[in-house]
Chain A
Amino acid sequence: MTATRIGLLAGAVVLLTVPLWVPGDYYVSVCSQILIYAIFALGVDVLIGYGGLVSLGHAGLFGIASYAVAYTLAAGVGHIAAVIVALVLALVGTALFAALSLRVTGIGFIMITLAIGELLWGLAYRWISVTNGDNGISVANRPAPFGISLNPPTHFYYATLVVFALSVFAAWVFIGSPLGASLKGTRDQPRRMNALGYHVWLVRFCACMFSGLLTAIAGILFIYYTQFISPQTLTLTASAEPVLMVISGGSGTLLGPIVGAALVEIVKNIASAYITRWNMLLGAIFVAIVIFMPEGLVPGSRRLVRALLKARAKAPAVAAAAEPNSGEPTP
């Protein structure tokens, strides 16, 4: 318990002091980007890690929020209204998305979400009268809450950090809540949950909505971060990214998606300056993770540390202490 507290405190100190120790504005911006993608990945992890539902269409929902902000701002509406419109539209989109895709689970869910994501990409790409097609839409200005302009990278970073902290807290609350426990139950034993009195579909639907909310928040931050949106943000690759972050970092943990987001964004933005073939590097990292730490970096490292500690503690002790039988019952 105290180890968790120390970790949290250290993490908070590191995140709060980022502008002091990173070498320049560019890197501050990269950190903002990591946090935005961490929120996105957290949203996806709610479904993958806690609901057992791998979505490859979330960039579509992310894109709805981004486009909504860009479009309404271009139409001359204020920031607050734009953000509200974006949240509402993204949540309506999520509800439709969930209603269609939750008809199936497992690989079927992956395929349907992928197809819906492509549908949304197709709309962004071709519905030129609204989205301006490949040319995209620009956003002239970042908002200035309480009179503080978010245009300087450092200001934007701290604003993002606040939203990030709130998002992580919200995810923590959701996961530890009765509804979160129900969601985990539907992941492990959907039939049993039904027999126990749970409405499995509705529990999953609620999880989708929460996931959509986090995704929309990330999408809104993203449009203010880049101040530009194009169909590129909704491609299959863009949907795959948060999924890769979650699985590589460790699904079903709150820290995993954050670590995964940091990994991917660092390779993308920093390693790419030194290595031309950074996509290949990223692919190779994913394959290596699957081979060496199939459960993801965070749970994998935890397991390694525990094994090391055990080995150290066991060295003098008798090894006869019976290993608990961890064989799971066959379903």
Chain B
Amino acid sequence: MTALAIHQLAKSFGGLHVTRGVDLEVAPGERRLIIGPNGAGKTTLFNLITGEIKPDAGSVALFGQELTRLPSRRRAHMGLSRTYQIITLFPKDTLLRNVTLSLLGLSHLRWNPLLRLDRQRSLIAQAEAALARVGLGHLAHRPLAETSYGERRRVEIAMALAQNPRVLLLDEPFAGLSVDERRDVKTLLFAIPRDVTIVMIEHDMDVALDFAERITVMHFGEIVVEGTRAEVVADPRTKEIYLGE
């Protein structure tokens, strides 16, 4: 069984085909890297997978379960989580509250209008653990607006991991990070257990290459090359796309 199976997924905005007939299969536990120049349709592909954009055609399945027609929120409950390239967090709230919201999203508690959220010890303990996991335990009570960019990137990852996803989509987790921060995030990603399947978009091949087992190269909304690290690096089309740019 495949963890994530995408079949002939297509989307166009106006006349612009952002993805056309994309086929992608990711095995359980796999680390998959999607690369490609700007505008290749990588983030759109993620939006289609999570349901934030509706496809014109094609299908998406998670562990054999068809979810093309399901709204975004249902997909989260089925074990699909993601981070965003452009950070979309809750700036007025503390880091702890940000992660708590992520946990609450999958909990029945979220409909409760009578309890006090700040007294839900188990939920908060889980949120603290998720923050500690990305090395931000000490900043739990700081408002997000007062944190650095690199810290926010890690909050994004903490929020996604807190949901205990079966498939985790990471959209450029290294973008805008310093060398030290990159190293930290990389260690963090390597520590994610194998029962989580990871698909990662990354612009910068150097950082992500040794993380991925298989690599997919996208260009103009299509998959151009797919294979193991060695195969993709050796493929002349990869060089063409990257050098011809």
Contact = CB atoms under 8 A, between A and B. Distances in A.
Nearest to A193: B105
Nearest to A207: B113
Nearest to A185: B101
Given A178-B110, A178-B117, A198-B110, A329 B87 contact: yes
A324 to B, nearest CB: 4
Contacts of B1: none
Interface stretch (B71-79, B197-205, B225-233): B71-79
Chain A interface, DSSP helix/strand/loop, else mixed: helix
A222 B148 CA distance: 51
Interface stretch (B29-37, B54-62, B90-98, B207-215): B90-98
B105 to A, nearest CB: 4
Given A185-B101, A198-B110, A191 B89 contact: no
B42 interface: no
B117 A197 contact: no
A188 B102 CA distance: 14
Given A181-B97, A191-B52, A198 B112 contact: no
Contacts of A189: 88-90
Contact of B120 (A178, A182, A199): A178
B72 A179 contact: no
A195 B73 contact: yes
B110 A179 contact: yes
Contacts of A206: 111, 113
B78 to A, nearest CB: 10
B73 A194 contact: yes
Interface string A311-331: 000000000000011111111
A176 B73 contact: no
B109 interface: yes
A194 to B, nearest CB: 5
Contacts of B16: none
Given A177-B112, A178-B109, A329 B104 contact: no
B163 to A, nearest CB: 8
Interface residues of B, number: 42
A175 B64 CA distance: 40
Contact of A178 (B71, B86, B112): B112
A182 B89 contact: no
B212 to A, nearest CB: 24
B145 A178 contact: no
Contact of B89 (A174, A177, A329): A329
Contacts of B163: 196-197
A177 B113 contact: yes
Given A179-B110, A188-B92, A331-B88, A195 B117 contact: no
A181 to B, nearest CB: 5
Given A329-B87, A329-B89, A331-B86, A178 B102 contact: no
B52 A195 contact: yes
Contact of B114 (A177, A193, A325): A177
B146 A325 contact: yes
A192 interface: yes
A256 interface: no
B11 interface: no
Interface in A179-216: 179-182, 184-185, 188-189, 191-200, 206, 210
Nearest to B108: A178
A198 B73 contact: yes
Contact of A326 (B88, B115, B146, B159): B146
Contact of A192 (B88, B100, B111, B112): B88
Contact of A194 (B72, B100, B107, B120): B72
Given A188-B90, A189-B90, A326-B145, A194 B71 contact: yes
B91 A328 contact: yes
B71 A180 contact: no
A214 to B, nearest CB: 13
A195 B145 contact: no
B112 A196 contact: no
B152 interface: yes
B175 interface: no
B90 A178 contact: no
Interface in A114-168: none
Given A178-B120, A195-B72, A173 B101 contact: no
Contacts of A191: 52, 72, 88
Given A182-B104, A195-B73, A329-B91, A210 B113 contact: yes
A249 to B, nearest CB: 19
Chain B CB within 10 Å — which of A184, A197, A331 has the most? A197
18 contacts: A173-B116, A177-B116, A177-B117, A178-B104, A178-B109, A178-B112, A181-B117, A193-B105, A194-B72, A196-B76, A196-B163, A198-B73, A200-B73, A210-B113, A325-B146, A326-B145, A328-B145, A330-B86
Interface of B: 50, 52, 71-73, 76-77, 82, 84, 86-93, 97, 100-102, 104-107, 109-118, 120, 145-146, 148, 152, 159, 163
Given A176-B118, A184-B93, A191-B72, 12 more contacts: A173-B114, A174-B113, A191-B52, A192-B88, A193-B105, A194-B73, A195-B50, A196-B106, A197-B77, A197-B106, A197-B110, A206-B111
